A and B are shown apart, each in its own frame.
Chain A
Amino acid sequence: MSREAKKLGVFLCKCGTNIAGFVDLDSVQASLTKRPDVAFVSTHNLMCSPEGRKFVEETIAKHHPDQVLVAACSPKMHEQTFRDAAVRAGLNMGMVQIVNLREQCAWVTPDVKQATRKALTLISGAMARISHHQDLEARELECCSEIVIIGGGLAGIEAALMAANAGRKVVLIEKEVSLGGEVIKTEEVAPNMECAPCLLAPRLSAIRDHPNIQVVANAEVTDVLGFFGNFIVKVRAKARYVTKDCIGCEACFEACPTSVTSRFHLGLGTRKAIYTLFAGSVPAAAVIDREACRHFTHDSCKACAEACPFGAINFDDTDRDLEFQAGAVIVSTGHGTVDPSGIERLGYGKIDNVYTLAEFERLASSNGPCGGQILLKNGKQPTSLAVIQCVGSLSAEGVPYCSGTCCLWAGKIGHLARAKVPGMAVYNLHDRLVFEGPAGQAFYHHQIEGGTKYLHVKDLESIRLAQGPQGIHITATGMADLDVDMVVLVTGVTPPPGLDRLAEQLNIDRDAHGFLKPDHPVLHQAGTTLDGIYAVGGCVQPCDSGAAVTMAQAAVGDSLSKLVPGRKIQLEAMTSHIDKDVCAGCRMCVAVCPYKAISYDQQEHVCAVNEALCRGCGTCAATCPSGACTAKHFTDTQIYAEIGGVVHG
Chain B
Amino acid sequence: MAEFEPTVVAFVCNWCSYAAADKAGGQRLPYPSNVRLVRVMCSGRVDPQFVMDAFREGADGVMVLGCHPGDCHYRNGNMKALRRFRIFETLLAQLGIEPERFRLDWVGAGEAERLQAVTTSFTESVRAMGPLTLTGSVDREVA
Measured CB to CB, the residues of B under 8 A from A are 7, 9, 14, 18-19, 21-26, 28-31, 33, 36-42, 44-47, 49-50, 53-54, 57-59, 70, 73-77, 80, 84, 116
Q: Which of A105, A122, A529, A640 contacts B53 (CB 8 A)?
A: A640
A565 close to chain B: CB less than 8 A:
no
- B28: which of A108, A511, A639 is its contact (CB, 8 Å)? A108
> Considering the chains assembled together, what is the distance between the CA atoms of A115 and B30 in angstroms?
11
Given A108-B29, A111-B33, A529-B75: A618 touches B44 (CB 8 Å cut-off): yes
> Residue-by-residue, is A351-374 near B (CB-CB < 8 Å gives 1, otherwise 0)?
000000000000000000000000
A647 in contact with B9 given A108-B31, A125-B38, A594-B77 (CB within 8 Å): yes
Q: Indicate if the CB atoms of B41 and A108 lie closer than 8 Å.
A: no
Question: Do A647 and B59 touch (CB < 8 A)?
Answer: yes
The answer, among A118, A617, A643, for a CB contact under 8 Å with B9, is A643
17 additional contacts (CB under 8 A) given A636-B50, A647-B57:
A74-B22, A75-B39, A76-B22, A102-B25, A108-B29, A114-B33, A118-B36, A122-B36, A592-B44, A616-B41, A618-B45, A619-B44, A619-B45, A636-B49, A643-B59, A647-B9, A648-B57
The residue in chain A whose Cβ has the minimal distance to the Cβ of B25 is A103
When the two chains form their complex, are residues B36 and A646 in contact, meaning their CB atoms are under 8 A apart?
yes
Q: Is the interface of B mostly helix, strand, loop or mixed?
A: mixed
- Contact status B36-A109, CB under 8 Å: no
A121 at the interface (CB under 8 A from B): yes
Q: Are A642 and B45 in contact, CB atoms less than 8 angstroms apart?
A: no
Interface centre among A108, A616, A622 (most CB of B within 10 A): A108
- Taken together as a complex, chains A and B put the C-alpha atoms of A648 and B26 apart, in Å, by 27
The 4 A-B pairs of least Cβ separation, nearest first, read: A103-B25, A618-B45, A619-B44, A617-B74
8 A Cβ contacts from A583-631 to B: 592, 594-595, 615-619, 621-623, 631
Tier of interface size on chain A: 35 or more
CA distance A110 to B76 in the complex (A): 36
A107 within 8 A of B: yes
27 contacts between A and B (CB under 8 A): A75-B39, A104-B37, A105-B33, A106-B25, A107-B26, A108-B28, A108-B29, A108-B30, A108-B116, A118-B36, A125-B36, A594-B76, A594-B77, A616-B41, A617-B73, A617-B74, A622-B80, A634-B40, A634-B45, A636-B50, A639-B38, A640-B53, A642-B38, A646-B9, A646-B36, A647-B59, A648-B58
Q: Which residue of A lies closest to B28 (CB)?
A: A107
Beta-carbon nearest neighbor of B116 in chain A? A108
Task: Tell yes or no: A387 within 8 A of B by CB.
Answer: no
Q: Which residues of A contact B53 (CB under 8 A)?
A: 640, 643-644
CB distance from A128 to the nearest CB of B (A): 11
Asked if B26 contacts A103 (CB within 8 A), the reply is yes
Chain A's closest residue to B75 (CB) is: A594
With the chains together, A621 CA to B45 CA distance in Å?
A: 7
Residue in A103, A114, A125, A615 whose Cβ sees the most chain B Cβ within 10 Å: A103
Indicate if A512 sits at the interface (CB-CB under 8 A).
yes
* Choice from B25, B29, B50, B76 contacting A643 with Cβ under 8 Å: B50
A290 at the interface (CB under 8 A from B): no
| Inter-subunit contact A622/B41 (CB<8 Å) | no
Question: Is A574 located at the chain interface by the 8 A CB criterion?
Answer: yes
Bound-state CA distance A105–B24 (Å) is 10
